[in-house]
Amino acid sequence: MSTKIQTLSGYYHEYQKSVLQPEEFWTRVADTFHWKKRWDKTLEWDFEGPDVKWFVNGKLNITENILDRHLFTKGDDTAIIWEPNEPNEPHLEITYRELYERVCQFSNAMKAKGIGKGDRVIIYMPMVPEAAVAMLACARIGAVHSVVFAGFSSTSLADRINDCQAKAVLTSDGNFRGAKKIPVKAVVDEALESCESIETVFVLKRTDTDVTMTEGRDVWWHEAVDGQSTDCKAEEMDSEDMLFILYTSGSTGKPKGVVHTCGGYMIYTYYSFMNVFQYNQGDIYWCTADVGWITGHSYIVYGPLLAGATTVMFEGVPTYPNPSRFWEVVDKFKVNQFYTAPTAIRALQAYGLEPVEKYSLESLKVIGSVGEPINEEAWHWYHDHIGKGNCPLVDTWWQTETGGIMISAIAGVTPNKPAHASLPLPGIQPIIVDAEGKELTGNNVEGSLCVKFPWPSILRTTYGDHERCKQTYFSTYPGLYFTGDGAKRDHDGYIRILGRVDDVINVSGHRMGTAEVENAINEHPKVVESAVVGYPHDVKGQGIYAYAICDMEGRTEENLIQEIKQTVRNIIGPIATPDKVQVVSGLPKTRSGKIMRRILRKVAEGDISNLGDTSTLLNPEIVDELTKHINK
């Protein structure tokens, strides 16, 4: 039975049903999957705990639904098209049967190293098919994967390994990224100096970079799979067993491990993929994200492969060897659905139309956006020049914690409106609340975005710290899931996401906690105190602006600024590097010692016309110093 929505009235009908009878609604979707044992109860929940369980006591293995189920009907169809970093290196097309065999072989290789159900496995890899194979192999044997974006530093990697006490790391000798060759194995080695839980490191040969292999711990990927059987029994998993952990930044402390479980995640990523992108069998679908982020999990690997789709995986970057790369690949594979981030669009837009016009792009049917609010200018450029004015543009709002797309147009079915995520998918009940948590009904309202009813792929906990999950998402407005975003419902009833209302910065679609960056800056021996805020950035959406109080002895300001940037790169990774660092003698504080971030944000924006009342500050004189450079 098809669960694909095809008309606007069909959408309203399904939406109604999903709200009035959520259990029946999701049962119908879940029944299209293969279960080893059907569930007893569709949903149990309370948002106080929080405690959410979907498909209670159901038994399944997600990879049987991705691989075994498709073997007979589409064994020879292409599951993954892999496009390498270098345009002249041959691409790969991997069928569902080959994917099944590769996953089974690697599953057996991991089992041979004593890795099994419940063990945590870190994946720190480039965008190569083996990254998807690794994720699926973990899922097959019931191990819990935690993919760490390969741009993170050794410290960030070590923190994640230690937090989940992982048993193995899967990595490569090196990664190609544009013109660069990054020696990732060396980063892993450095991280492992402060990790005791790791027993095995699987190393994929990709760049032929020299690496040190630690005897008894490190094994070459190709040697580990050599001779392994191409069949491997799928472990029986409970619906609520962990499928993966993905670390993400928040407004406080270190990144937290968002936990997703097997049953609900499977149902929702499939359902949202099929509907939002209106995927038809045979279509070629391409999401340009990295598997290190949730988008790569849900909409490169799990959602599309559950749907039996052909999913493109791209190793490189949008501007290498030139800013035509995306469009060249679209034409090369005749991509039908293309899903990328506003930051990529803005970066490419800056090169003008010449790189676009060399390609026809006529295969495109649907284009999508994810990760941050898409400004109207980028929306129109994307819609007019990439979609040629006749592809629906789906602006998909969701989060690591939501597992799948929550608010978005359904391509060609529900209207799309520039810069508006628009309408919730069936099963999703978002509300906008005021500061007291009161629901704001009707149109033309603005407030905090919450969700009042569980959906199948909601996060279940934060790994090892359930209290933190409760505090972060379920305590601000008791009884509601709080997203951290502000939103507006406009006069037509469409939702527009206004951005974060907490201390989280969205840099090129990636979340950075201000506290996390401050902690990194404070590691510099000359830094006394720091404060970090976001500011509008033409390409990245938001840039990182750091204020630092420093002991200047023996340093020039310029040196210090460079050193501070380098410190952050080393501790977190290049994506967290502050765009601007201002050395200051003090920070604006209230009498109770709280930093007035509002003032820092204004100064970072370069807008000092409206700083508000600064006379109540403990140190009002600091404002003049902060703004001096703006008047220059």
Q: Who contacts 56 (Cβ-Cβ below 8 Å, separation ≥6)?
A: 39, 40, 41, 42, 43, 44, 239, 240
The nearest distance, CB 316 to ligand WT7, in angstroms, is: 20
Candidates 421, 450, 459, 560; binder of ligand WT7 (CB under 6 A) is: 421
Q: Which is nearer to ligand WT7, 507 or 587 (CB)?
A: 507
Find the length of the chain.
632
* Nearest Cα residue to 171 out of 114, 131, 141: 131
Q: Which is nearer to ligand WT7, 431 or 596 (CB)?
A: 431
Candidates 500, 537, 540, 565; binder of ligand WT7 (CB under 6 A) is: 500
Distance CA 539, CA 534 (A): 13
- Residue 218's H or E segment, with its range, is strand 218-220
The site that binds ligand WT7 (CB under 6 A) totals a number of residues, namely 25
251 burial level (CB within 10 Å; 0-12, 13-18, 19+): middle
Candidates 78, 155, 248, 567; binder of ligand WT7 (CB under 6 A) is: 248
The nearest distance, CB 331 to ligand WT7, in angstroms, is: 26
Distance CA 421, CA 434 (A): 20
Distance CA 87, CA 329 (A): 9
Q: Which is nearer to ligand WT7, 105 or 343 (CB)?
A: 343
Residue with the shortest CB distance to ligand WT7: 400
Q: Which is nearer to ligand WT7, 99 or 245 (CB)?
A: 245
Q: Which is nearer to ligand WT7, 102 or 460 (CB)?
A: 460
Residue 116 three-state SS: coil
The nearest distance, CB 373 to ligand WT7, in angstroms, is: 4
Distance CA 41, CA 23 (A): 9
Q: Is 159 in the site for ligand WT7 (CB under 6 A)?
A: no
Q: Is 200 in the site for ligand WT7 (CB under 6 A)?
A: no
Stretch that binds ligand WT7, among 261-269, 481-489, 530-538, 575-583 (CB under 6 A): 481-489
Asked if 516 and 577 touch (Cβ cutoff 8 Å), the reply is: no
Residues of span 345-384 touching ligand WT7 by CB under 6 A: 369-373
Site track 279-318 with ligand WT7 (rule: CB under 6 A), x = hit: --------------xxx-----------------------
Q: What is the dihedral of CA 11, 16, 21, 24, to 10 degrees?
A: -20
Q: Which is nearer to ligand WT7, 55 or 474 (CB)?
A: 474
468-to-50, 134, 253, 463 alpha-carbon distances in Å: 11, 29, 10, 9
Helix and strand tally (H, E) in the chain? 21, 30
Q: Is 256 in the site for ligand WT7 (CB under 6 A)?
A: no
**How wide is the angle at C-alpha 159 spanned by C-alphas 155 and 164, nearest 5°?**
150
* Nearest Cα residue to 519 out of 598, 576, 586, 580: 576
Residues of span 94-153 touching ligand WT7 by CB under 6 A: none
The nearest distance, CB 396 to ligand WT7, in angstroms, is: 5
Q: Which is nearer to ligand WT7, 174 or 509 (CB)?
A: 509
For ligand WT7, the binding residues (CB under 6 A) are 248, 293-295, 369-373, 395-400, 421, 483-485, 497, 500, 506, 509-511
